[in-house]
Structure 1
Amino acid sequence: MIPRSLFSVNTTKARHAIFASLLTSPTIIIRTPSSSTILLLPSSSFSSISSCPVPPQDTHTLNRLNQKDWLATNEVLKFIEALEDPSSVIAFLDRYAKRKDYKPSEALYTLVVDKLAQAKMFDAIEDVMHRIKAPKHRCRLSDDFFYNVIRVYGNVAGRVSKAIDTLFDMPNYNCWPAVRTFNFALNLLVSAKRFDLVHGVYMSAPKLGVEIDACCLNILIKGLCEYGKLEDAFHVLDEFPKQRCEPNVRTFSTLMHALCDRGKIEEAFGLLERMEKEGIFPDTITFNILISGLRKERRVEEGMELLERMKHKGCYPNSGSYQEVLYGLLDSNKFVDAKEFMHRMISEGLDPSFESYKLIIRGLSKKNLLEDVDWALKQMVLQGFVPKMGMWKRILRSMFPRKSRYGSISCEEILEN
Structure 2
Amino acid sequence: MPKCPFPIRISSFLPQSRILSTNPVNLSTSISLSPNQSMEQPEVIEPPISHQMFKSAPKMGSFTQGDSTLSSTIESHAAKLDFASVENLLTRIRSENRTVREHTFIAIFKAYGKAHLPEKAVDLFHRMVCEFHCKRTVKSFNSVLNVVIKEGLYHRGLEFHDHVVMSSNMNICPNGLSFNLVIKALCKLGFVDRAVEVFRGMPERKCLPDVYTYCTLMDGLCKEERIDEAVLLLDEMQSEGISPSSVTYNVLINGLCKRGDLTRVTKLVDNMFLKGGYRLNQHVYSVLISGLFKEGRAEEAMSLWKKMGERDCKPNIVVYSALVDGLCREGKPDEAKEILNEMISNGCLPNAYTYSSLMRGLFKAGLSEEAIQPDVVTYNILLDGLCVHKDVSRAVDLLNCMLERGCDPDVITCNVFLKSLREKSGACEEGRRFLEELVVRLLKRQRVSGACKVVEVMLSKYMAPKGSTWGMIVPEICKPKKISAAIDKCWRNLCT
TM value normalised by structure 2: 0.57
Matched, 1:245 2:245: no
Identify the match of residue 134 of structure 2 among 158, 164, 175.
Answer: 175
Match of 1:193 in 2: 152
Provide the residue aligned with 2:46 in structure 1: 89
Are the aligned partners of 1:396 and 1:411 in contact in 2 as well (CA < 8 Å)?
no
Q: Which residue of 1 aligns with 2:320?
A: 357
The answer to whether the Cα contact below 8 Å between 1:335 and 1:363 also exists between their aligned partners in 2 is: no
Which of 164, 169, 173 is the equivalent residue of 2:122?
Answer: 164
The alignment partner of 1:245 has SS state of coil
Render the CA deviation track for 1:36-84: whole Å, top value 9, x for unaligned.
Answer: xxxxxxxxxxxxxxxxxxxxxxxxxxxxxxxxxxxxxxxxxxxxxxxxx
Deviations 1:259-295, CA, capped at 9 Å, x for gaps: 1011110111122222233332322211111101011
Q: Matched residues in 1 for 2:217 and 2:356: separation? A: 44
Which of 260, 263, 280 is residue 298 of structure 1 equivalent to?
A: 260
Distance in 2, Cα, partners of 1:341 & 1:208: 54
2:339 aligned with 1:339: no
Letter in 1 for 2:126: F
Task: Provide structure 1 residue ranges, at least 5 long, that are not aligned to the other structure.
Answer: 1-84
* Partner residue of 1:380 out of 320, 340, 343: 343
AA paired with 1:122? F
Give % identity.
21
| Native 8 Å contact 2:286 2:318 kept in 1 | no
Contact 2:50–2:73 (8 Å) recurs in 1: no
Range with bigger deviation, 174-183 or 201-210: 201-210
Please tell me whether residue 152 in structure 1 is matched to residue 111 in structure 2: yes
Q: Measured at CA, do residues 241 and 222 of structure 1 come closer, stay the same or move farther in structure 2, by a change above 3 Å? A: same
Shift of 1:112: 4.6
Is 1:177–1:208's contact at 8 Å kept on the other side of the alignment? yes
- Contact 1:354 / 1:385 at 8 angstroms: preserved in 2? yes
The one-letter amino acid of 2:44's match is: S
Instruction: Answer 1 or 2: which has greater helix percent.
Output: 2
| Deviation readout 1:117-165 (Å, 9 max, x if unpaired) | 73x553553354333222xx23332111111122222322x22122112
Pairwise CA RMSD of aligned residues?
Answer: 3.5
Distance 1:298 1:178, change over 3 A: same
Which residue is equivalent to 1:280? 242
Considering only CA atoms, is the larger Rg found in Structure 1 or Structure 2? Answer: 1
Whether the 8 Å CA contact 2:317–2:350 is kept in 1: the answer is no
C-alpha distance in 2 between matches for 1:325 and 1:315:
17
SS at match of 2:243: coil
Deviation at residue 378 of structure 1 after TM alignment: 4.8
Contact 1:141 1:175 in 2 (8 A): yes
**Residues 380-389 or 158-167, more deviating:** 380-389
Q: Higher relative contact order at CA 8 Å, sep ≥6: structure 1 or structure 2?
A: 2
Relative to 1, partners in 2 of residues 1:229 and 1:335: Cα closer, same or farther, differing over 3 Å?
Answer: same
Q: Which runs of 5+ in 2 are unaligned?
A: 1-41, 377-401, 407-496
Partners of 2:136 and 2:244 in 1: CA distance: 32
How far does residue 306 in structure 1 lie from its aligned partner after superposition?
A: 0.6
Cα distance in 2 for partners of 1:165, 1:152 equals 14
Counterpart CA distance in 1 for 2:357 and 2:176 is: 52
Q: Secondary structure at the match of 2:368?
A: coil
Structure 1 pair 95/218, CA: closer, same or farther in 2 (3 Å)?
Answer: closer
Partner of 2:97: 138
- TM-aligned CA deviation for residue 357 of structure 1: 1.1
Question: What is the TM-score with the length of structure 1 in the denominator?
Answer: 0.66
Give the Å deviation of 1:246. Answer: 1.1
> SS where residue 412 of structure 1 aligns?
coil
CA distance in 2, matches of 1:116, 1:218: 26
> Residues 95 and 323 of structure 1: is their aligned pair in 2 closer, same or farther, counting only changes over 3 Å?
closer
Aligned residue among 178, 190, 197 for 1:228: 190
Relative distance call for 1:114 and 1:389 in structure 2 (3 A) is same
Evaluate the alpha carbon distance shift between residue 250 and residue 315 of structure 1 in structure 2; reply closer, same or farther with a 3 A threshold. farther
Change (3 A) 1:379 1:402: closer
Structure 2 CA distance for partners of 1:275 and 1:96, relative to 1, 3 Å: closer
The whole-number CA distance in structure 2 between the counterparts of 1:363 and 1:127 is 60
